[in-house]
Amino acid sequence: MLKTLDNYSVNGFFDEAIIDSNHSRPAAKPLFSQLKDTPFNSFQEMQKSAEMAIAQMGISFTVYSDKGNIDRLWPFDAFPRTIEAEEWNSITKGLKQRLQALNRFIEDVYNEQEIFKAGIVPLEVITSSRDFRPECIGMKLKHNSWANICGSDLVRDAEGKVYVLEDNLRVPSGVSYMLENRAVMKQVMPEVFRDMNILPVDQYPLQLLSMLRSLCPQNCDNPEVVVLTPGIYNSAYYEHAYLAHEMGAELVEGSDLVVLEDDCVYMRNIEGLKQVDVIYRRIDDAFMDPEVFRADSALGVPGLIRAWKAGNVAIANAPGCGVADDKVVYAYVPEMIRFYLDEEPLIDNVPTYLCDREEDRNYVLDHLNELVVKPANESGGYGLLIGPRASEEELAEFRALILDNPRNYIAQPTLNLSTVPTVCEETLEPRHVDLRPFILQGEKSYVTSGGLTRVALTKGSLVVNSSQGGGSKDTWIVVTEENT
C-alpha cells in the first residue's frame, strides 16, 4: 500500500483501488508498488505538472452560461483509475452486445416495427419521443448500423457491480479527452508506463476512421471522410478539430458543403468541388438540413438528407438514431437484447421507474426524496434532481414537473457510486466516479480499452459532468501477473 493512503477510508463505498487499509485491488497493486514510498507532496507536484501540460497543450472545454460561452482548461486529476484486463474483456462483450441490440432497434423503429407488434415496447414511447424522425421511415443502412459511435456511461454500486447508467447515441463526446488524458499521464508518470502492462488507447482515431470508411455507400478504395462541426463556439469544438486532425480528415462547417442536382454532397476547396462519401456529423438532427428540419438553421447543409436517402453519402451517427438515446427507451434495452439477439444482457441497467406508468409514477412521487429523477432527453447533468440532497422547494418543483409531463421523466435509486483516490489539498481522498467507454459499430465493432473516467471533484458530490464542476482521470486497463 501507499504510505500516503495510511488514513484513507473507503467509507462503505466500493473503491476502485483499495479494499481496506491494508489491501489494494489487483489492478492497483503494480501502481502502488511503483509509488509505495511517494510522499503526498510528490503527488501534488504530479498534479501541477499535469495541469501545466494541459495548459501547454491547450486542452479546453466550453461551459455555456448566462454570461456567454466560457472556455476553461480541462479539469484533470493525476491519480489514475485502474481496472483489470480480464474484467474489461467481459465489459467489452456486454457493450458490443448492447450496441448491436440498439442498432437493431433503431432499424426496426423506421421499418418493420416488430418489437412494437410483439408488445414489448409501447409504440407511443417512440411516437412521443423528441428525437423520432418520421423522415427516416423506410431507410435501410449499410451493416444495419445507425448509431456508429456510442458512449455508454457505466457505474459501480456499493458491491462493485457494473451497471449501464445511460447510452449516448446522438453525438457522444469526450473521447478526445480520454486520449489527451493518456498523453498527459505519460508525461507525469513515464517510469510507471515503462514498468506496467497498461493497454493502449491511442489507436482509437484509426479505428474510428476505419469504421467510417466501412460506411461508404460506394465501393471505393479511399472514401472521402469529413467531420462536420457547428463551429468554434460549440462546447466540443476542441474534440471535433482534434479527431479530424488525428484521422487526417477535413474539418468542415455546413457552408463548406453543397448538394448539387445529382443528389451528391461536395466539399468546396481551393481546387473547386470534391465529392464527400462519409460525414461524421457533430451537429444535432434539427440543424442538419434546413430543407427537412429547422428552416432557420445556418449550421447544416441544404439537401443533405436528400443525398443521404438517395444512398450517395453516409452520415454517422445516422439521422434519427437519437430515438434510442431517450432515457425512457433506455429502460427497455434489456428486453431489446432478448428480443433481437435471443441473449441475456451481459451488463444490467440500473433499476428504472418510468413516470408515465401510473404505478411507477405513484412510487416516485411517494419516494421523491430517495431517488434521482432525470428528464428523458437532457444531457450534461442538467435538469437532475438528486432526492436525498434536494430542498423541500426542489422536491415540490419536481413533483409539479412530473405531474405536468410524466412522459419526460424517469427515476432511479440513488447509487453509491464507486470511488477512486484523488489528489486533494492535504491528502489523497476518495471521490466518486463513472466511466464512459466508446463503442464503434460499422462493418466491425470496437470498444476502447477503458474510457473517460469522470470524477466528482467536490467532496461527497455524485455529479461528475465537467459542465457541473466535475473532472476526469486517466483510465488504465491493467494486465496483471495473474492474467498473463
The pLDDT, as a whole number, for residue 65 is 46
DSSP-based three-state secondary structure for 461: coil
CA 345, CA 323: separation in Å to the nearest integer? 21
372, 398, 413 - which closes a domain: 413
In a domain, 357, yes or no: yes
The pLDDT, as a whole number, for residue 465 is 76
In a domain, 200, yes or no: no
* Upstream peptide bond of 317 is cis (omega within 30 degrees of 0): yes
The C-alpha cell 463548406 sits at: 256
306 and 233, same structural domain? yes
**Average pLDDT score over residue span 304-320:** 97
In a domain, 261, yes or no: yes
Q: Using an 8 Å Cβ cutoff, are 463 and 446 in contact?
A: no
Cell readout for 191 is 517510469
Quick one: angle between helices 392-404 and 358-366, nearest 10?
Answer: 170
**Average pLDDT score over residue span 149-171:** 94
Please state, as a whole number, how many other Cβ atoms lie within 10 Å of the Cβ of residue 392. Answer: 8
In a domain, 164, yes or no: no
Q: How many helices (H) and strands (E) does the chain have?
A: 14, 25
297 and 239, same structural domain? yes
Structural domains of the chain, count: 2
356 and 304, same structural domain? no
370, 389, 413 - which closes a domain: 413
Full-model pTM: 0.93
- Domain span including residue 240: 218-312
Give φ, ψ of 344 to 5 degrees. -85, 145
**Average pLDDT score over residue span 115-133:** 94
Q: Using an 8 Å Cβ cutoff, are 188 and 49 in contact?
A: yes
355 and 308, same structural domain? no
Cα torsion through 79, 194, 181, 250, rounded to 10: 180
In a domain, 228, yes or no: yes
CA 438, CA 346: separation in Å to the nearest integer? 17
Residue type, 137: I
CA angle in degrees (0–180, nearest 5) for 390-392-398 = 70
In a domain, 175, yes or no: no
Average pLDDT over the chain reads: 92
CA 158, CA 215: separation in Å to the nearest integer? 41
392, 413, 434 - which closes a domain: 413
The pLDDT, as a whole number, for residue 478 is 97
Q: Is 400 left (phi over 0), alpha (psi -120 to 50) or beta?
A: alpha
CA 106, CA 113: separation in Å to the nearest integer? 9
Q: What is the CATH number of the domain that holds 383?
A: 3.30.1490.270
In a domain, 274, yes or no: yes
CA 54, CA 181: separation in Å to the nearest integer? 9
User: What's 482's DSSP letter?
Assistant: G
Q: What is the CATH number of the domain that holds 225?
A: 3.40.50.11290
**Average pLDDT score over residue span 123-151:** 95
What DSSP letter does each residue of 192-218 carry, written as one string? HHHHS-B---TTHHHHHHHHHHHT-SS
In a domain, 363, yes or no: yes
DSSP-based three-state secondary structure for 129: coil
Higher pLDDT, 401 or 23: 401
The pLDDT, as a whole number, for residue 66 is 43
Q: Give the closest residue to 106 by CA, choosing from 373, 270, 320.
A: 320
pLDDT digits (tens, 9 = 90+) for 219-268: 888 999 999 999 998 888 999 999 999 999 999 999 999 999 999 999 99
278 and 357, same structural domain? no
Query: What's the maximum distance between 2 C-alpha atoms anywhere in the chain?
Result: 71
Q: Distances in Å between the alpha carbon of 185 and those of 73, 189, 190? A: 16, 6, 7
Q: Is 138 left (phi over 0), alpha (psi -120 to 50) or beta?
A: left
Q: Using an 8 Å Cβ cutoff, are 304 and 314 in contact?
A: no
pLDDT of 1 higher than 90: no
What DSSP letter does each residue of 327-376 carry, written as one string? HHHHTTHHHHIIIII-S--SSEEPP-EETTSHHHHHHHHHTGGGEEEEET
360 and 296, same structural domain? no
The pLDDT, as a whole number, for residue 74 is 84
